[in-house]
């Protein structure tokens, strides 16, 4: 099992690397970026915007030697060149005659030489656009030191934002899991003990409804319920007057806010657990050891809980790892509809604002969550069930 | 085939049934599955003929009837809440009325009596009147409520002035015409100031468009995305899964790593990222194709892996071996022998996965990355509920959600029934139907 875990662990870094590379390329492929609107805004100075882009790692400022090394090029039907003539800055020549920086920058706003894009600010300082591959590697080296860049939108390090939001998403998912297990497993077991009873049939209907109800719709219904009755807060994680509460008041306030989103997320997950628990229990009840136990005269309760239940419930322990994918996707919608400041709402906000570092980091962290969840589930399955051999 | 037929005739037994006939027989016994199938047929037919069934065109707006309640369930009446003391231009004190609208469940709205109050079989609606209501600051606002003294008959097969689509196949093949199944005839509507009329069975949206009409048009998008999306992704899955499973080796390795890559990113995160990479200024047709493409790209991975596993085991079966030893080419063995044997499971999986495509479209459109105004889709319609206050005071805006729910539920019922009917042993260990 150790070798299995090790091998699986070793397969994670390449996967994460490829995911981040492809995501990076996808994001670079997108039309326009966070700064496009600023650049198009005539009231903003180009110098300022380009300097921001340089800080964000999108542009590299060319120094004197690099500028001169560009040599002669043509743009819009004119011949341009930067020549080092000993002055403070290189002399810009247009069709052979020197021109002033202001004039040059007006016509050289964006130009392209041999597929490399350049941008020029008001004072004719030239920047080179960082290519996708180059950008990825500089991002990667920073990422190895846990520096995922600075969010354009929030103007804060991405790492801090993600850590904060991740905690919220995990809280929500965990609460949803507790609800899903707490309701799903007992219902499934009871349904299996009395198959085709009224309980079984209503449990089956609940499972179908839970599986089928669209998350967006369910979350909206919950919001409608909250706004009509006023029993639950509408969105967010805590009240505005949160700081005034004592320790227990704070906890109660948090749970009050958490309850409805967790219930919505948990109910759809519950259906799966219930069906699984019912199926496992029915299978366990049909096994030879159950018959043997009954033949020995073990009480019905003993048969159910000591023999069948344990065997039925073991595989369920690991289900949470596999349900992480649907839980993460589900929580994305619940968070957005119910205004829960988690990872899902973060990526939504980041995509709306074209905040590339934030999008990239969110995708990456959600992938990591999923991959580790699956790994944990595989290992747990082997731990609880000796019949499963990992190889 | 002939031989077996002769044999069965000799023994007096009915001819043996093919696998599809057996599947159909089993499925027919499953009431829930049949209900689901029937619901789907009705939904698809309803949306295909949406333009005909709808009383209005998709974007017929009426600025006077913004956010009016669903006439199927009742109507608004006016209640006087008091008088506001004010002065007219000659500084004489006057009293201005202050009104409030009140919702009456199953009173008003669509009803069965004519203007004189006599019962008729023909449904009627009341015209809507704008009442001038004054508040304490001297501001006047119009409140729209029923004028219950009058009734307008709802006519069947009314002719609209403008041409609308009558039939549409997934939004691609359209037939246009003037006839609507039901609606108000312009001749019946009294021409008076401040008097409006409309047949808003499920209410109107924030722009005053009939919600029932928008739902019917929106269903064309939401329901067809599911079908087309699953068709594309199953095709990709069959191709890649078959390739990887049959040839194995490096093909298998590379393709399965690709599958793992796609499955490692949580679905909606991947969908949103793919959407991010695509431009925003798309026409409605392009948006539709983009949504289908994104959902299919994300969705083929799991089916591909499943089919690969099946082909992997079927490859070693005797009939595949026989076909190979008889000189059958790889393509022939895959197409003639292996893939047909996966057919029943593919159909079951497809039915069970269609909801994910429908929900994917709903999620994208709800978040504002999918279908956009002025088009319609069930996800887009739910977008009106994004502001909780708007939803609270106009709760009928959530009705499109029931249609999504219904479609998904029907697909799940049908898929579950199909799974049990196809081959119970093939799904051993998978979750079971509750109608065992």
A151-164 confidence digits (pLDDT tens): 888 888 888 888 88
Domain boundary among B176, B209, B242: B209
In this prediction, residue A250 carries a pLDDT of 82
Q: Which among A19, A216, A329 has CB closest to B267? A: A329
Is residue A159 within 8 Å of A149, Cβ to Cβ? no
pLDDT at res. B359: 92
- Quote the pLDDT of residue B432: 35
Question: B273 and A18: CB-CB below 8 Å?
Answer: no
> Is B212:B57 a contact under the CB 8 Å cutoff?
no
Alpha-helix residue ranges (DSSP H) falling in chain A: 2-29, 36-40, 46-55, 64-70, 101-107, 132-144, 158-193, 198-212, 215-229, 247-285, 288-296, 300-302, 309-317, 319-322, 324-337, 343-353, 356-384
Mean pLDDT of A82-93: 73
Distance CA B184, CA B200 (A): 10
Q: Is residue B228 part of a domain?
A: yes
Query: Do B221 and B266 fall within a single domain?
Result: yes
Edge-first strand listing for the sheet containing A59-61: A59-61, A126-129, A116-120, A110-113
User: How close B207 comes to chain A (CA, Å)?
Assistant: 20
pLDDT of residue B333: 82
Q: What is the pLDDT at residue B402?
A: 94
What is the least distance, in Å, from the CA of B324 to any CA of chain A? 32
**Residues B172 and B306 placed together within one structural domain of the fold:** no
Residue B59 lies in a domain: no
Q: Which of B268, B367, B382 sits opposite A217 (nearest CB)?
A: B382
B178, B209, B240 - which closes a domain: B209
ipTM reported for the complex, 2 dp: 0.86
Q: Which of A280-294, A316-330, B37-51, B144-158 shows the lowest per-residue confidence on average (mean pLDDT)?
A: A316-330
Residues A64 and A83: their CA atoms lie apart, in Å, by 9
Does B301 lie in the same domain as B236? yes
**Which of residues B85 and B397 earns the better pLDDT score?**
B397
Query: Among all residues of chain A, which has the CA nearest to that of B278?
Result: A30
Partners of B366 on chain A (C-beta within 8 Å) are 216, 333
Q: Are residues B108 and B254 in the same domain?
A: no
Angle at A223 between CA A220 and CA A229, to 5 degrees: 140
Q: Does the pLDDT at position A24 exceed 60?
A: yes
Three-state DSSP state, B357: helix
Highest mean pLDDT among A75-84, A121-130, A271-280: A271-280
Domain range enclosing B287 = 33-48+215-435
- Say if B142 falls within a structural domain: yes
User: Six-digit token pair at B170?
Assistant: 């997934």
Q: Which of B209, B244, B267 is the last residue of a domain?
A: B209
What's the average model confidence in pLDDT over A213-230? 90
CB B165 within 8 A of CB B176: yes
B102 assigned to some structural domain: yes
Residues 268..327 of A with a Cβ closer than 8 Å to B: which?
272, 275-276, 278-279, 282, 324-326
Q: Tell me what pLDDT residue A388 has.
A: 64
Q: What is the pLDDT of residue B423?
A: 66
Within a domain: B222: yes
Looking at the structure, do residues B370 and B404 belong to the same domain, yes or no? yes
The pLDDT tens digits for A158-195 are 888 888 888 888 889 889 988 988 888 888 888 888 87
Nearest CA in chain B to A277: B431
In this structure, the answer to whether residues B153 and B273 fall within a common structural domain is no
- The total domain count for chain B is 2
Query: Same domain for B100 and B175?
Result: yes
Average pLDDT for A17-44: 83
Global pTM?
A: 0.87
Smallest CA–CA separation between A139 and chain B, in Å? 18
Mean pLDDT along residues A236-260: 81
Same domain for B182 and B262?
Answer: no
* Whether the Cβ atoms of residue B359 and residue B379 lie closer than 8 Å to each other: no
Quote the CA–CA distance of A361 and A365 in Å, as a whole number. 6
Dist. CA B278–CA A27, nearest whole Å: 9
- Half-sphere exposure (Cβ direction) of B184: Cα atoms closer than 13 Å: 19
Q: How far is CA B289 from CA B244, B295, B414, in A?
A: 28, 10, 27
Residue ranges in B333-397 assigned as alpha helix (H) = 339-367, 378-382, 388-393
- Let me know whether B373 and B357 are in one domain: yes
**How many Cβ atoms are within 10 Å of B290's Cβ, its own excluded?**
18
| Predicted confidence (pLDDT) at residue B179 exceeds the cutoff of 50 | yes
Nearest-angstrom CA–CA distance, A57 and A378: 40
Query: Does B108 reside within a domain?
Result: yes
Chain B residues with beta carbon closer than 8 angstroms to that of A29: 277
Supply the pLDDT for residue B427: 45
Both tokens of residue B420?
């049990």
Residue-wise pLDDT tens digits, B237-294: 888 888 888 887 888 888 888 888 888 888 888 888 888 888 888 888 888 889 999 9
pLDDT score for B358:
92
| pLDDT tens column, A315-331 | 777 777 767 777 888 88
Question: What is the structure's pLDDT at B424?
Answer: 53
Per the CB < 8 Å rule, is B366 touching A213? no
Contact A223 B388 (CB under 8 A): yes
Determine, for residues A351 and B268 on separate chains, whether the beta-carbon distance falls below 8 Å: no
Whether residue B223 sits in one domain with residue B188: no
Beta partners for A356? none
Return the SS3 of B76: strand
B215 contacts B407 by C-beta, under 8 angstroms:
no
* Residues B381, B309 share a domain: yes
- d(CA B58, CA B65) in angstroms, rounded, equals 15
Lowest mean pLDDT among A103-117, A274-288, B143-157: A103-117
Is B11 a domain residue? no
Residue A90 has pLDDT above 80, yes or no: no
**CATH number of the domain encompassing residue B225:** 1.10.3720.10
DSSP string spanning B404-420? HHHHHHHHHHHHHHHHH
Q: Quick one: average pLDDT of A281-288?
A: 85
In a domain, B398, yes or no: yes
Tens digits of per-residue pLDDT, A38-67? 777 778 777 888 888 888 778 888 777 777
Verify that B287 and B325 share a domain, yes or no: yes
Give yes or no for A212 touching B (CB within 8 A).
Answer: yes
């Amino acid at each position: 099992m150790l070798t299995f875990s090790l091998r699986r662990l070793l397969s994670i870094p390449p996967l994460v690397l490829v995911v981040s590379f492809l995501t990076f390329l996808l994001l670079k492929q997108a039309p326009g970026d966070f700064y496009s609107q600023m650049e198009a805004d005539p009231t903003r100075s180009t110098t300022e915007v380009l300097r921001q882009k340089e800080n964000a790692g999108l542009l590299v400022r060319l120094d004197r030697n690099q500028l001169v090394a560009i040599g002669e090029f043509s743009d819009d039907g004119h011949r341009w060149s930067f020549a080092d003539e000993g002055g403070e800055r290189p002399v810009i020549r247009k069709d052979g005659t020197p021109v002033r920086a202001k004039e040059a920058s007006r016509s050289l706003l964006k130009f392209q030489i041999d597929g490399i894009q350049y941008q020029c600010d008001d004072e004719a300082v030239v920047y080179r656009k960082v290519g996708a591959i180059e950008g990825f590697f500089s991002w990667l080296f920073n990422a190895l030191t846990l520096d995922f860049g600075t969010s354009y939108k929030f103007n804060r390090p991405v790492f801090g934002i993600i850590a904060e939001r991740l905690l919220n998403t995990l809280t929500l998912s965990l609460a949803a899991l507790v609800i899903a297990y707490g309701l799903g497993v007992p219902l499934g077991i009871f349904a299996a003990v009395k198959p085709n009873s009224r309980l079984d049939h209503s449990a089956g209907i609940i499972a179908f409804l839970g599986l089928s109800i669209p998350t967006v719709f369910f979350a909206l219904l919950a919001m409608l319920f909250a706004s009509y009755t006023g029993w639950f807060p509408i969105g967010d994680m805590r009240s505005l007057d949160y700081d005034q509460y004592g320790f227990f008041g704070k906890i109660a306030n948090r749970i009050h806010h958490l309850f409805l989103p967790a219930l919505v997320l948990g109910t759809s997950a519950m259906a799966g657990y219930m069906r699984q628990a019912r199926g496992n229990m029915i299978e366990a009840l049909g096994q030879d050891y159950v018959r043997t136990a009954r033949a020995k005269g073990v009480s019905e309760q003993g048969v159910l809980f000591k023999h069948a239940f344990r065997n039925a419930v073991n595989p369920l322990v690991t289900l949470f790892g596999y349900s992480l994918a649907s839980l993460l996707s589900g929580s994305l919608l619940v968070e957005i509809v119910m205004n829960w400041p988690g990872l899902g709402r973060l990526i939504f906000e980041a995509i709306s604002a074209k905040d590339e570092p934030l999008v990239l980091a969110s995708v990456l962290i959600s992938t990591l969550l999923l991959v580790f969840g699956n790994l944990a589930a595989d290992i747990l399955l082997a731990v609880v069930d000796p019949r499963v051999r990992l190889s | 085939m002939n031989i077996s037929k002769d044999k069965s005739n000799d023994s007096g037994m009915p001819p043996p049934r093919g696998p599809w006939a057996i599947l159909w027989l089993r499925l027919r016994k499953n009431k829930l599955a049949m209900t689901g199938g029937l619901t789907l047929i009705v939904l698809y037919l309803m949306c295909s003929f949406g333009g005909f069934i709808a009383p209005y065109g998709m974007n017929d707006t009426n600025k006077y009837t913004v956010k009016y309640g669903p006439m199927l369930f009742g109507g608004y009446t006016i209640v006087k809440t008091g008088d506001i003391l004010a002065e007219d231009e000659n500084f004489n004190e006057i009293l201005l009325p202050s009104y409030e609208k009140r919702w009456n469940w199953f009173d008003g709205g669509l009803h069965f009596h004519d203007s004189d109050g006599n019962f008729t079989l023909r449904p009627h609606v009341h015209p809507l009147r704008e009442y001038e209501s004054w508040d304490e600051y001297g501001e006047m606002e119009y409140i729209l409520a029923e004028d219950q003294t009058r009734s307008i008959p709802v006519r069947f097969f009314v002719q609209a002035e403008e041409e609308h689509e009558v039939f549409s196949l997934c939004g691609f093949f359209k037939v246009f015409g003037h006839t609507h199944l039901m609606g108000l005839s312009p001749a019946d509507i009294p021409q008076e100031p401040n008097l409006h009329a409309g047949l808003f069975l499920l209410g109107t949206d924030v722009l005053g468009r009939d919600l029932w009409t928008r739902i019917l048009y929106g269903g064309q998008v939401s329901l067809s995305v599911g079908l087309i999306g699953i068709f594309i992704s199953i095709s990709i899955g069959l191709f890649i899964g078959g390739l990887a499973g049959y040839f194995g080796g490096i093909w298998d390795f590379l393709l399965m790593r690709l599958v793992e890559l796609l499955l490692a990113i949580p679905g909606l995160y991947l969908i949103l990222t793919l959407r991010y990479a695509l431009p925003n200024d798309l026409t409605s047709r392009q948006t539709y194709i983009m949504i289908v493409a994104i959902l299919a790209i994300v969705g083929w991975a799991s089916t591909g892996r499943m089919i690969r596993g099946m082909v992997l085991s079927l490859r070693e079966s005797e009939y595949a071996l026989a076909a190979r030893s008889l000189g059958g080419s790889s393509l022939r063995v895959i197409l003639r022998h292996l893939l047909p044997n996966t057919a029943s499971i593919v159909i079951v999986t497809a039915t069970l996965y269609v909801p994910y495509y429908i929900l994917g479209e709903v999620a994208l459109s709800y978040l504002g990355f999918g279908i956009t105004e002025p088009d319609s889709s069930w996800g887009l319609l739910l977008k009106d509920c994004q502001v909780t206050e708007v939803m609270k005071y106009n709760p009928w805006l959530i009705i499109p959600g029931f249609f999504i729910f219904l479609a998904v539920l029907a697909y799940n019922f049908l898929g579950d029934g199909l799974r049990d009917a196809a081959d119970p042993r093939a799904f051993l260990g998978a979750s079971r139907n509750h109608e065992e």
